[in-house]
Structure 1
Amino acid sequence: MSETPQPAGARKRRPVLLVLAAIAGTVVVLDILTKTWAVETIVPGDPIHIIGDVVTLRMVRNSGAAFSMAEGYTWVLTLIVLAVIAVIIRYSSRLRSGWWMLGLGLVLGGALGNLVDRIFRSPGVLRGHVVDFISVGWWPVFNIADSAVVCGAILLVVLSLLGFDYDGSRSGWAARHDREPEPATATEAPNPTSKESDRDA
């Protein structure tokens, strides 16, 4: 019995989804492991000092978005995260750039990492508080998922500004850079032996 042929779009999407899943899955695993360690190790109100007061590990329960922003809107943020995840998966078949896959994979993994907290942590489903525990200087306390989202977003912005498009094409600076002519080779020096043979003739 012959297999039903799959649409071209489905065949193209599968490897891209695998790459996105691998990157996002790595972020989620690291995020869950570090948060589990933080909850079991860090005592609230008693931070662990890594580099004086500049870099510390302190337990914070965050009801907002990355870096404690938009606190009190947990359910709204959960819906936004779900929408972002759906959009990334929906348009994954158009991705051809490895750097774009990396950036979107980081954003996807970070979004999923914090979504796990919102679903499974107290005070309830879709209202759970995210565990933050990394404190660097004046920067708000964050976690691995937050870092992945920010790094992925910065990478996507840089790629867009330079003209490296998600479908593998190039525009703007990237296109101009590709069209730069190669440096001309130096003119060969005349061969004196050849000139003497011409005079003799």
Structure 2
Amino acid sequence: MQAARGTPVDHRDDGPGRTGERILAHPGSWLIFASVTVLMVAVDQVAKVLAVRHLTGEPDREVVGELLQLHLTYNPGAAFSLGTRFTVAITCLAWVATLVVLWASRRVASKVWAVGLGLLLAGIDGNLVDRMTREPGVFRGHVVDFLMLPNWPVFNVADVCINVGVGLILLQVLRGVGLDGRRVAPEEES
């Protein structure tokens, strides 16, 4: 049996006289999710390696005048360098967030949701790689940041992925589109 827009449906038995449906990821959408995740983690990590190699000990470099500059810094905290004393806790939360996004991806059948979740996971895991592999050690590694805008904290490609991914997810939620690509009817909302 197929659900809306060709989404595969897996039937399960919920007990005597009850049958439930569990919507599984559409293979094409899940492939988009996985591809976006892998590609953007790779882009993030290559950009960080290049930033460390070419910016260590160097003055800031202008990319677009004073609008966008390259400035190497290492961030032990979360966004905006908050929580610098809680690096291990932030790392553990990133592992939990990774598992939550992977769990949600099992049901993705919408291409927009697939891209949004893929970008979100790429951002989480791009920074998680730093926390697991960079100095001062496993679970305590500092995240490489190198993109600087005026009056804004220094950030990286993973941070951009998180923001764009969250933006796409919010767009889908506001449009009433579920992970499976179906619109939620007003009478179904409660």
Q: Same fold (TM over 0.5)?
A: yes
Q: Which runs of structure 2 are paired with 1:108-147 in the superposition (5 Å)?
A: 108-147=121-160
Task: Give the one of 51, 73, 80 matched to 1:60.
Answer: 73
The question of whether the paired residues in 2 share the 8 Å contact of 1:118 and 1:129 is answered with yes
Q: Which runs of structure 2 are paired with 1:3-82 in the superposition (5 Å)?
A: 8=10, 12-13=24-25, 15=27, 16-44=29-57, 46-82=59-95
Q: Which runs of structure 2 are paired with 1:78-89 in the superposition (5 Å)?
A: 78-89=91-102
> 1:109, CA displacement in angstroms?
0.6
Question: Secondary structure of the equivalent of 1:125?
Answer: coil
Which structure has greater strand proportion? 2
Q: Which AA in structure 2 matches 1:22?
A: S
**Structure 1 alignment gaps of length 5 or more:** 1-6, 174-201
Q: Which AA in structure 1 matches 2:117?
A: L
The question of whether the paired residues in 2 share the 8 Å contact of 1:67 and 1:146 is answered with no
> 1:140, CA displacement in angstroms?
0.8
C-alpha distance 85-120 of structure 1, shift in aligned 2 (>3 A): same
Alignment identity in percent?
36
Question: Secondary structure of the equivalent of 2:73?
Answer: strand
Question: Secondary structure of the equivalent of 1:18?
Answer: helix
Q: Distance in 1 between matches of 2:62 and 2:125?
A: 29
Question: Secondary structure of the equivalent of 1:145?
Answer: helix
Q: Which AA in structure 2 matches 1:121?
A: R
**Structure 2 alignment gaps of length 5 or more:** 1-8, 12-21
The question of 1:95 aligning with 2:108 is answered yes
The question of whether the paired residues in 2 share the 8 Å contact of 1:123 and 1:129 is answered with yes
Which structure has greater helix proportion? 1
What's the TM-score once normalised by structure 2's chain length? 0.79
What's the TM-score once normalised by structure 1's chain length? 0.75
Once superposed, which parts of structure 1, at least 4 consecutive aligned residues long, lie more than 6 Å away?
Answer: none
Aligned length: 167
Q: Distance in 2 between matches of 1:77 and 1:137?
A: 26
